[in-house]
Amino acid sequence: MMNPRHMPLIVLLLAATCGFAGDFTNRYASLRLQDGQTYSNARPQRVSGDNLVLFHSKGIAYVEISQLPEKVRSDLHLAHRSASPSSEQNLSIPALYGRRPAELKRLFPRMPATKPGSSAKLSAWRGWKAIYFGFNGAGRLASISFTPATPLSETEAKRIVKEYGVSLPESYEKRAPALVAYRNMQGRIKTVNFSFADWRTKDNRISEIGIFFNIGWDE
């Protein structure tokens, strides 16, 4: 008769072999992600939200689709899932107001450790080339900036920011040679900067979006 203590292990093994009915037949001897993480004997199984469930030599991993090399996304017919920054990510910028690093890790699992008064950089997140986090003296999020892989049109950049929950009232808009800014706004968001790719050559595509919260240094 089977020992009851072995039942959880049996259930886990069945889930690993039968529970994930593989949607893919691809195998990769070595799969290197954009952030440098490498998996040996990688076998994609199925898509779960914005992640790819991956069997590999050391177990199971949930990999962000945006971290996959372009060729692999193409192989798996997932290129459309992370080709460009998207608002379809359930991201609310106002909800990030004053968050501490430990809280932000729920949404940004790969965000590096940081200290109060410092900043952190997260590379290759859901179609963005990089995201920069700025923390005040109390260790709370005071600013967040997004850098696209390729510059965006001003219209597209504004659309994404609005769909991330940020209002851009026309009465607050200020234009300068190097950027378009929304300053001294009310509420959680105080300033939004859309920086031009190269103002000297009048390349007015947006190369960075900077969002600054209405929070003091010691709050």
58 or 84, which is more confident: 58
Strand partners, 143: 134, 212
Residue carrying the six token digits 């997004």: 146
Using pLDDT thresholds of 50, 70 and 90, give the confidence band for residue 6.
Answer: very low
How far is residue 120's CA from residue 113's CA, in Å, rounded to a whole number? 8
CATH number of 21-81: 2.30.30
Reported as a pLDDT band with limits 50, 70 and 90, residue 26 is: confident
The pLDDT of residue 59 is above 60? yes
Return the domain boundaries, the chain: 21-81, 94-213
Whole-angstrom distance, CA of residue 97 vs CA of residue 188: 7
C-alpha–C-alpha distance, residues 9 and 212, integer Å: 49
Mean pLDDT confidence for 24-43? 85
| pLDDT given at position 90 | 64
CA distance 29 to 22: 17
CA distance 98 to 18: 43
165 pLDDT more than 70 = yes
Tell me, letter by letter, the H, E, C secondary structure of the chain: CCCHHHHHHHHHHHHHHHHCCCCCCCCEEEEECCCCCEEEEEEEEEEECCEEEEEECCEEEEEEHHHCCHHHHHHCCCHHHCCCCCCCCCCCCHHHCCCCHHHHCCCCCCCCCCCCCCEEEEEEECCEEEEEEEECCCCCEEEEEEEECCCECHHHHHHHHHHCCCCCCHHHEEEECCEEEECCCCCCEEEEEEEEEEHHHCEEEEEEEEEEECCCCCC
The verdict on pTM exceeding 0.75 is no
Amino acid identity, position 196: F
Average pLDDT of the residues in 172-188: 96
pLDDT tier for residue 10 given thresholds of 50, 70 and 90: very low
Q: Tell me the average pLDDT across 179-193.
A: 96
Give pLDDT tens digits for 81-125.
Answer: 544 555 445 689 999 999 999 999 888 888 888 999 999 999 988
d(CA 68, CA 52): 9
Residue 62: pLDDT band with limits 50, 70, 90: confident
Whether the CB-CB separation of 194 and 154 falls below 8 Å is answered with yes
Q: Please give the residue that has the higher pLDDT: either 80 or 177.
A: 177
Q: How many CA atoms lie within 13 A of 190 on its CB side?
A: 11
Please determine, for residue 27, whether its predicted confidence score (pLDDT) is greater than 80: yes
